[in-house]
Structures are given as C-alpha cells and as structure tokens.
Structure 1
C-alpha cells in the first residue's frame, strides 16, 4: 500500500483533465465557491486521534465543492453528520457550512475522489488516479481501526488502496471485513451511499445507515 503521494491533494490538482475542466467551469460560474480538491475533515486531535475513517465517493458540486468541507451543504451531509452526532463520533451542531460548530471525534471524513466530477460520476481512471491520495491518507493515520465506505466505488477503491482483492471483499450494505495491511489489522465496513436518491427510493433508510455507523462506533468504543 506504500505510496509517495501526500495524504491530501493540492486544491488545484492537475492530474485529471476532465475534472480540471469541470472545476474551471465552476470557477467561472461561481467564483466565490471553494472549487478545488476538497481536503479531508479532521477531528479534534488531528491525525493521531483518528480511529474511524469515513470514505465517501466525491465532492458534490453544490455541497463540498461549494463549501470546501466533505459532505457539507448537501443532503448526504444531513444524514451523515446527524448519525455521527448520534453515535458520539461528532459534537456541536451541523449547520451546512464549514464555520459551524460541528467537531469530529475520533473520526475523519474524506472522499475516494477529491474533486467534484460531472453528474457525481468519476470515471474509473479518475478513481484510480486519486487512489494514491487515499492510500497515503490511510497510511498517515497511525491509530486507525475502522473504515466505513459509502457506496461501491468508494468500497472498491478502498479495498484496492489497502492492497486487498475486490473479488475477495465484495461490496454490500453492512458488509464487514478484517483486512491485514502494513502490519496492522483494520476493519472495513460498507454502506449504501447516504445520497438523496438512495434515501428517497428507500434503498437506504435512516435505520440501515445508523446500523453501520453504530457498528463502527462500537468498534472503537464510542457507542
């Protein structure tokens, strides 16, 4: 899993031409937005405090691409942060803006792809290119115990970032795998993505999502 990439992509990351073009178009239309590779949301205590890593898909155009903080400003963030607050993995109040009082506890929130893709759909090449940042992000968390992947793309990319085989660790809602990597044992949990589409269609209910996050909290003694 060793990589030479930094844990965070530069805001003006040039690696994926299609995403750069989309970012520049958003900058033209909405110059006051963040419009860049969105950095991970760290907890109180920084990297050493992280026990749980939440891995989403990519920044939403109207969400993190606008606000500069993962899952902030869109429906997915409403459900994610309410659930983290319920299980003691966050404190304060989530108010859909990066300067609210929300604080993460023992938890980091990141994305498999750091730049907003058109129609919220990164290509396979873009996901692979950004995986170096994900691998480095995982490596830089010395006390990490549990990862929670939101959606199949996040799950598959994270499995590969851990040096494991996707075929041996297939995606499913509320799946759980023990993966040995870099001399440590990690627990990999996954959920359907907490998107508006999944919740509106009933593919994911609040109760289903809370079950997965609750298990992750219990893994690290937060629930």
Structure 2
C-alpha cells in the first residue's frame, strides 16, 4: 500500500505539463538577484506535514521564488510568512518563520498541500494543468482520510479545486457546491458513514489580500483556531 512518503516522492518527479516544467526550471536557472546564491528546487512541491494530520490546509500553487526555490510548501515567501506566523500563534507550528526546508520547522497535526504542485507563470495554471495535477491532491486526500477531521481552503481557486476532489475521496459534497467565502464552514459527511470533514473557507494569504487588509492576521488566526478545535488539536 502506498504511503504519503511514496506519494510525495512520485510528485517530485512529475513532468506532465510542458509549460510548467519549462517555467519552473527557467526560474530555477535564472533565479532572483536576492537568491543568486541559492540552489533552487525547481521541481513539483509535495505536501508538508505529518502523515496522520487531522487538519489539512490547501493553498493554490508554489510561488516561483518561494516553494519553487525551497522545495517546501509556503516556505521562503511573504505568503508563508503570514501563514506560519499564524500557525505558530495558535500552537500548530514549532516556529513563526519558514525560510528553508531544513530550518527545523515542524507542524503539529497539520498538513499543508495545494491543488497545483508546480509554480505557474503569473500564478495562473491553465484548466488542463489543473486537471493534470488533480490526481495528486486526490491521492493525498485518500491517504489522509482516516485521520482528517478539518480542512482550511485558502482562496476561491483552492475551494473550486478541492471540493470535487473531496467528493472523489469519499466525502459527500452537496449539489450545487457551496460557494466560497471567508469564514464559510461546511460539514461534509463521509460517504461510507465514517467521521465527517469540516471544511473552512479563508481568504488566501497573498500579498494582495494581506497588504490591503482583506485578510488580517487576526482573521486568519480565528479560522485556524476554529478548524484546529474541530480537528482535536
């Protein structure tokens, strides 16, 4: 039976989308001046967190000079700075910053993942690229299903991509699908009668949202606390 570690290893070798492969590798070659001494990861980014996580966080895609550089979700960019500071504040991360994959950061009962695993140009994957990447999220959700009790989706794109995957992974998603919104909470029964999954919507931790105040640190902490409570953390 495949483990999450097996899945993560397969993710990092994916070359299914020529445009994304070319872009991520070009970024890794040319680099940003501030990171010229870095050896960029330049590959698909696997999920981050324990295999028995009860709380899942789903974002969008790796940032070109963030996770595409460091090889770990939300690590090395401003969005990650906001997310990990909030996770640390509510007791779910061992430290408030995430700078590299070997910085010692650990998560307590939380796994962070995304529906697209390669950094896309302009942060906009195509519909075909999203479809190519969907099986990775689906397999990850299936492997985490025995322990997952709550899931926080960051942003409308993640919401649209995650709900169909949740339905395929064994949770009953109502039709029409619930609309995204910050603070939205929906309880999805398990199709086989097992434990339900509570899904929370949260504005994405992008610079656009955090710099304008659409998402404040307090708003993010509130959603994470509510989800952690449901997850038993």
TM-score, L = length of structure 1: 0.89
The answer as to whether partners of 1:7 and 1:140 remain within 8 angstroms in 2 is no
Higher relative contact order (CA 8 A, sep 6+): 1
Unaligned runs of at least 5 residues, structure 2: 1-5, 32-37, 168-172
- Structure 2 vs 1, CA of residues 56 and 89 (structure 1 numbering), >3 Å: closer, same or farther? same
For 1:147 and 1:38, locate their aligned partners in 2 and report how far apart those are by CA, in whole Å. 19
Match of 2:153 among 136, 149, 154: 149
- Which whole-Å deviations, capped at 9, do the CAs of 1:146-187 have from their partners, x for residues lacking one? 111101111111101012357331111111111124523111
For 1:12 and 1:27, locate their aligned partners in 2 and report how far apart those are by CA, in whole Å. 16
For 2:175 and 2:113, locate their aligned partners in 1 and report how far apart those are by CA, in whole Å. 20
Taking the TM superposition and a 5 Å limit, the aligned residue runs for 1:12-23 are 12-23=13-24
Unaligned runs of at least 5 residues, structure 1: 1-5
Question: Which residue pairs with 2:46 in the alignment?
Answer: 39
For the residue of structure 2 that corresponds to 1:168, the secondary structure is coil
Taking the TM superposition and a 5 Å limit, the aligned residue runs for 1:1-223 are 7-8=7-8, 9-30=10-31, 32-43=39-50, 47-48=51-52, 50-92=53-95, 94-141=97-144, 142-163=146-167, 164=173, 167-183=176-192, 184=194, 185-222=196-233
The answer as to whether partners of 1:7 and 1:135 remain within 8 angstroms in 2 is no
Count of residue pairs the alignment pairs up: 213
For the residue of structure 1 that corresponds to 2:176, the secondary structure is helix
| TM superposition outliers: structure 1 runs of 4+ over 4 Å | none
CA drift of 1:12 comes to: 3.4
Q: CA RMSD in A?
A: 1.8
The answer as to whether partners of 1:72 and 1:97 remain within 8 angstroms in 2 is yes
- Which whole-Å deviations, capped at 9, do the CAs of 1:65-124 have from their partners, x for residues lacking one? 000000000111111111111112122452412211211000001111000001111122
For 2:123 and 2:112, locate their aligned partners in 1 and report how far apart those are by CA, in whole Å. 18
